[in-house]
Amino acid sequence: MANSLMKKYITWFNTYVESFINKYPDLSENIKLKAGHSHKVHSEIIGLANALNLSENEKFIAELIGLFHDVGRFNQFIKYRTFSDSELQNHADLGIEALKENSVLKDLKPKEQEIIYKAIYNHSRAEIDEDKNEKVIFFSKMIRDADKLDIWRLITEYYMVREQKTNKTLELDLPDSYDVSPDVLNAIVNQKVVLKRSLKTLSDFKLLQIGWLFDLNFEYSIQRVYDKKYLDKIFDTLPETDKINQIKEIVDAYFDKHIKTLPI
């Protein structure tokens, strides 16, 4: 249950989303998908905040970051008809712009606003920007984990129904091929972040999503992706080639290292 302080922010968010749906009914499917994702990331970050024993105020900041992290997706989609960021536009920047334009955070202290803006900025970058403020780093880590946890939910649900209902926007319009690009394989084998610019096929994108495991910041998140079997579900959509099996072994070893199993 969200803190009662959150209610007005949730209402603002829902009204904001409604305005896009009313104006662009043809685009409502993807708008609703991102709105749903935002609410789920809000829930995910509450779970993480509880696991980390945050104070009420810290939890409130985390919740706002969770709810608003993708608020730029709506402008991005109606302007550019894509969820693929480019040098010209990044949905995190568009989100910060939307929050500022609408004075959404005006009742918060400047320090709190700064943490929220910076965490939103950092959520979509390959890496978190250096910052002297430890809180910025901490909340950036939180949103990056909570976001990944819900994208895994969203895409594994999608891969289950993809044959019947393809959504090319969710696949970043990448060609449906089993080919794996060398840069992608190389990054994942070395447990490095797969860069979006190295994506050439849908399989590359799926491997990028699998590789997010190595970028998780909290043990809680590793346990959660393991319990939810999200990565197994992505592997199920990939062919059993040597390359894929090699990645599976790396993933299994990573889980073995991090997951606490009860003694038999």
| Sites of contact with Fe ion (CB under 5 A) | 70, 124
Provide, rounded to whole angstroms, the least separation between the CB of residue 120 and Fe ion: 8
- Minimum distance, C-beta of residue 70 to Fe ion, in the bound complex (Å): 4
In the block, which residue shows the tokens 């993807």? Answer: 30
Q: Nearest approach, Cβ of 226 to Fe ion (angstroms)?
A: 23
Smallest Cα–Cα separation from 148: which of 71, 57, 62, 69? 69
Distance from C-alpha of 250 to C-alpha of 259, rounded to nearest angstrom = 14
* Smallest separation (angstroms) from Fe ion to the CB of 147: 6
Query: CB neighbours of 20 closer than 8 A, spacing ≥ 6?
Result: 27, 31, 74, 78
Closer Cβ to Fe ion, 44 or 70, answer by number: 70
Torsion of Cα atoms, 102 then 105 then 109 then 111, to 10°: -90
Q: Pick the closer one to Fe ion by CB: 122 or 124.
A: 124
Residue whose beta carbon is closest to Fe ion: 70
Nearer to Fe ion, 129 or 232 (CB): 129
- In whole angstroms, how close is the CB of 85 to Fe ion at the nearest point? 9
Residue with smaller CB distance to Fe ion, 65 or 185? 65
Q: Spell out the alpha helix ranges (H) of 24-72.
A: 28-51, 56-68
Cβ proximity to Fe ion, 74 vs 235, nearer residue: 74
How far is the CA of 233 from the CAs of 43, 152, 158, 209, in angstroms?
Answer: 22, 9, 11, 11
36 CA to centre of own chain: 12
